[in-house]
Every structure is written in structure tokens, then in C-alpha cells.
Chain A
Amino acid sequence: MNVQSKPPATPLIQLRGIHKHYGDYHALRGIDLEIRQGEFFSLLGPSGCGKTTLLRTIAGFEQPSSGQLVIDGKDMSGVPPNHRPTNMVFQSYAIFPHLTVAENVGFGLRRDPRPKEQRARAVAEALEMVGLGGYGNRAAHALSGGQRQRVALARALILKPKVLLLDEPLSALDKKLRENMQVELIRLQRNVGITFILVTHDQEEALVMSDRIAVMFEGAIGQMADPETLYRRPNSRRVAEFIGKMNLLPAEVGMEGNRIVVEVAGLGRGAVEPDQAPGGVIEGNSTVGIRPETLSLLFPGETTDRRVAEGVVDEVVYYGDMTYYDVRIPGVEEPLTISMKNLIGRPVLDVGTPTKVAWDERSLVVLSR
């Protein structure tokens, strides 16, 4: 069930017990991580969680206070950034303003033994690859944000690194461009087959792009899994709240034999499978989570064989394709958020409308931690 259970012989990158202190500040608290060749790996977390520090440690701009970093079988302690098989796309893109686009892309080729014409061709090909064919002679400062990012990508990929490190590469772009670039980056990564490590605070971006995601909080990894597991089976309240929208409900959790039984205040009692408690079970007062899209409102005339709770619409947020309802249910402290597709013939309910909420114990996640 866990993706980590079938790793190849040796992973490309291994981090063992990486700690980083800045004076009294403990930025990284024992990071253990293995990243496979060809993987699109994301470090996701709120600002200040240490994800950028970790990326910069892999790049060689930060030295870990303790722990070991191995890339491609070689220990990286004391190896400066210019001797590591990694290249980075910086958050600011770090395009050299005194050079042309082609000179920027060819910057790292100075020691390349190939003759000048071949290097020029490599630069042209790299620009072609990121969709900037023919831009070589432009001045770097005349580029737009999206173009700068492509130059930064071409400049790093032309060196054929073992690992490409991306530090929030899309955060400076507007929404449309960002979504296009996400798709392009995935395609690019599949084509070149290089391992990508992406740092982002945007959970949606991480879910869309990654093979695997490590969610970080306060210098430690909270959960590491593929996007679907992370979304459906978060192992703690923090991960559940950080990724997507999650209703958190107080519940009484207990074991009956090897069955997990939950008593959710206001909704009722149900049994859940062990994989619905990925963070483990602590008996007693606890929390369960349920995603808005796994709940549904019963519109007039609809019936269901799922369990039903009665409530009143408290808030309506209309998104076009979806409508988010907050429904107040007697006995439930916070209103439940429910997302409904706006299908044909389905009305948008008004605030104050009495309604029925269908739910299913199979979509509960026990969040003891």
C-alpha cells in the first residue's frame, strides 16, 4: 500500500538525520528522505517550515549541522555547489541582467569541451525546448516573468543535472500562466527524465505535479506520500488542514476487537477500517476529518442509502462549477462544509433552507494527532 515499499536498488538522493541550526533556531529537525531517480518530488509546507533550507542544503548553499546527504552514491559533505550534480531554478530566477538570453542559458557551458558551434546549437536547442526558440539575442532584462522562468529552466537543464531543484518557481506568475507552466513542467520532466525536487507552499501545485510529496512543518516532515494518499489519508490534523479543505469534527474513538469505532458528535456512530486511521489510533476524545466533496446535500426528491443528518444552510459560496454550503447540524459544533457540483436541474439553496446531509463512514479519517 505504501509507495516506499518497492524502492529500486539505491535511491538517487539519500538524506539521513539532517539537522540545521541557526544559532538557537532549529531550522531542520532530523530529516530522513530518499528520492528515486526520475521522480518528481515536492517539499510542501507553510512559510518558515524549512522546505527552502532543505532544498538549499541539497544544492550545497547551506551546510547541515549534522546528518548525511548522499547524491548518486557520493557523500556531499564539504562539496561546494559548483561540484554537485544538481542545478537550481531560483525563486527570483536569478537571470544575469548583463547577459543576453543565449549567454544566460550558455553560462554553465564555459568548461564544456565541445567546440563553440556545438555549444551554440545546444543553447538554441535548450531555448527551443522551453519554447523560447529565437529569443537568444534578446537582452535578459527585457523578458517577462514567464520568459525569465523558462530561461532559468533552460539554463539549468542544459547542464543535464542528476537533480533539478526548483525553489517556488511558479509563485511569481499569475494564475493562468502558473497552471500552464505546471502542465509544461510535468511534460518537460517526463521528456528529460531528470529527477525534480520542487519546493512550494501551494498544496494544489504539489498535488498536480508530484509523484510524491513531503509535507513539512517546523523543520520536520509531517507526512510523506503520493498525492492521493496525502489527500485521502492525511496522518494528522495539520496535514489534513494544510491540504485541501477538511471538516474536522470532535469524536470519541475506541477499539472493539480489531475494529475501530467512532462516535461523531451530532452525526452518529460508525466503524472504520484501519487504513482510515493512517496516523494511528489514540482511544478517547479525538478528531475525525471528512472532505466536503464526500458529503452531499439531499435536494428535494432525492433519496440515498447513505446515512443522513438534518441541518440548516448557514452559508452559500457559489463558484460556478461548484457551490460550497456551510450546513449547521444540531449537536455539531462547527457548520459542515459541503461542496456540490452544479448539475443541471440542481438549484442553489438559500441561506436558512432546512436540508439533509448524506455522509458515509467510509470517507472518515481518524486524526488522533
Chain B
Amino acid sequence: MSIFDRSPQARTAALLSPPFLYSLLLLALPLVAIVLISFWTQTGLDFDTTFTLANYRAIFTQPQYILGNAQNWGVIPVSLFVSATVTAITVVLAYPVAYFVSFVVDPSRKSLWLFLITIPFWSSYLIRVFLWKVILGFNGVINTGLQALGVIREPLEFLLYNLASVIITMAHAYAVFAILPIYVALEKIDRSLLEASQDLGESRFSTFLRVTLPLSVPGIVGAVLIVFIPTIGDYVTPQLMLGAGGRLVANTIQTQFFKGNDAPLGAALSIVTMLMVGIISLVFLFLNRRWLRGRS
């Protein structure tokens, strides 16, 4: 008997069980494990499983994680700052591109344009990060180019191994993720609304501010979440672009699990970061829902 002959409930269960098992094994179980471990203590290669809040206490009291000191911010605030900046830059740059494809490009050419926008995905993320190193590096494209033109004598050192290089790399890598949701939101806008606005006395620009922009807010919120959440967790880019000393929260966690040999602290850091990202995302979702309800 094939699954199509059974009751709708049985069919639903049969169709959903493989992905459900998959997410149970690869998402829920590791998450539960992380939560458990965050309340344990590392003893060499083993765990002391007595319940303790010591890891969380360390995160909230030691300066390197949240509080910071006179010279440096804590690693979590810095990471939030980097992600927020990347998100802002990405969304601001993605909006005109999405707008162009939705409003200017001939309808028959739109899918071609979307295809062109996804071309960066044809090379691996790691290679794209390395390419930015080649462009921004001490002997990179920008420095040798400027030197050859005689603009600078010594290579610029501020290009690589700092937060700016992380932000540039990530903003480029995540651009597509921001363009697509904004594009979809713009596509959904009934074009007669724009004509109605003009008919009621607004110029093209004020029509954009009063109609197009507010109606594309769901797409902007989607883009913000899609960029913000993964950039917090990205540890490859900071690892490669910050050099030996640089740390953002993602590679700090990675270090705790491996080199630092303190999985419970890493787990606790993960939980704290996850909660912060969760709260920020909820705020955005809430704003979005308020917006969609119609403000009165």
C-alpha cells in the first residue's frame, strides 16, 4: 500500500517524518546538548556534570566577553556592532538594486537579472573571502594599484586585519540575501497604488517615500533578519580577515571548544549569543507585524 492510499493524517505524518527526524537529530539534539553542557564544567577530556552557573557568571563578569574595559569592548558587543553595520550597509546597498530590477528592468529580463545577481554563489564562500584578502592586503590589488599610480608611497595598513575588512567582506557576501527579499516585497506592490499616489498630487519621489518604501518594509525586515542572524555566527570571515589577534564572538566560541578546551564556556557563550540574536529578531518581527496591521 503506497502512502497515497492512507488517511490524510497518516499521509502527512509519513511525508513529514523524514525531515522531522532529520531536524530532530541535527538541530534539536545538538541544541539540547549545548544547553546541558553550558551548565557543566570541563575536567580535562571529560565533564563534571554537576549543575553550575559558573560559565554564565564568567561571561557576565569577565571583561573580554560582554563588559569590556577601557581599551577594548567585549567580544559580544563588538560582534553585534559588526553584524549591525554589515546589515545596515547590505540593506542600504541592496535596496536600489532590488528597486532597479523590480521597477526599471523590462519584465521579460527580470529572471535574467536575478540570475546574474546570484553569480557570486558560483564560487565558494571561502574563495570569496580570500579574494577580498587579495584585494585589500598589504601587497593587494588596491595597495599596488595606488602605489603604481603614485597616489601613495607606503602600502595602506588600515585595509586589512581590522573590523572594516570584516565588514566589507561580509557586506559583499550577503548582498544577494538582502536583494531577494526586498525584490519580492517590491514586486508585490500593486503598481496602480503608485499611480494613485501621483494622481493624488505626490511627485515620484514623495510617492516613493509615502507608498513604495512603507509597503516594502516587510522585505526590508526579512533582509535584515536574513543578514543579521548568520553574520553573527560567521566565524570564517573574522578568522581570516582579522588575523591572529582578532576575535569576534563566533570564533571565540570555536576557540573555546577546540584550542581552549572549555566546551562548557563555549556552550554558554553560544546560548548567550543566541538569546541576544533571538531578542533582536523578535523586536524586528514585532515591528514588522505592527507595521502590517496598519497604524492608526
Which residues of A come within 8 Å of B, CB atoms? 59, 61, 80-82, 86-88, 90-92, 94, 96-100, 107-108, 110-111, 137, 139-141, 155-156, 159
Contact = CB atoms under 8 A, between A and B. Distances in A.
A253 B203 CA distance: 58
Contact of A92 (B190, B214, B292, B293): B190
B296 A90 contact: no
Given A98-B215, A155-B200, A159-B201, A90 B294 contact: no
B198 A81 contact: yes
A139 B198 contact: no
Contacts of B291: 98
B107 to A, nearest CB: 15
B257 to A, nearest CB: 46
A88 B196 contact: yes
Nearest to B193: A94
Interface string B165-191: 000000000000000000000000010
B234 interface: no
Contacts of B202: 82, 108, 110
Contacts of B192: 90-92, 94
Closest 6 pairs between A and B when the two form their complex, measured CB to CB: A108-B200, A94-B196, A139-B294, A94-B192, A81-B198, A100-B296
A94 B292 CA distance: 17
Q: Mostly helix, strand, loop or mixed at chain B's interface?
A: helix
Contacts of B203: 80, 82
Nearest to B207: A82
B261 interface: no
Contact of A94 (B195, B214, B215, B294): B195
A298 B292 CA distance: 66
Contact of B193 (A61, A96, A111, A137): A96
A159 B200 contact: yes
Interface string B283-296: 00000000111111
Contacts of A137: 296
B211 interface: yes
A273 B41 CA distance: 110
21 contacts: A80-B198, A81-B195, A82-B200, A82-B201, A82-B203, A88-B195, A91-B192, A94-B190, A96-B193, A97-B193, A97-B215, A97-B294, A98-B294, A98-B295, A99-B294, A100-B294, A107-B197, A107-B210, A141-B294, A155-B200, A159-B201
Nearest to B215: A98
Interface string B253-296: 00000000000000000000000000000000000000111111
B199 interface: yes
Nearest to A111: B201
A96 B291 CA distance: 13
A108 B196 CA distance: 10
A110 B201 contact: yes
Contacts of A155: 200
B196 A96 contact: yes
Contacts of A81: 195, 198-199
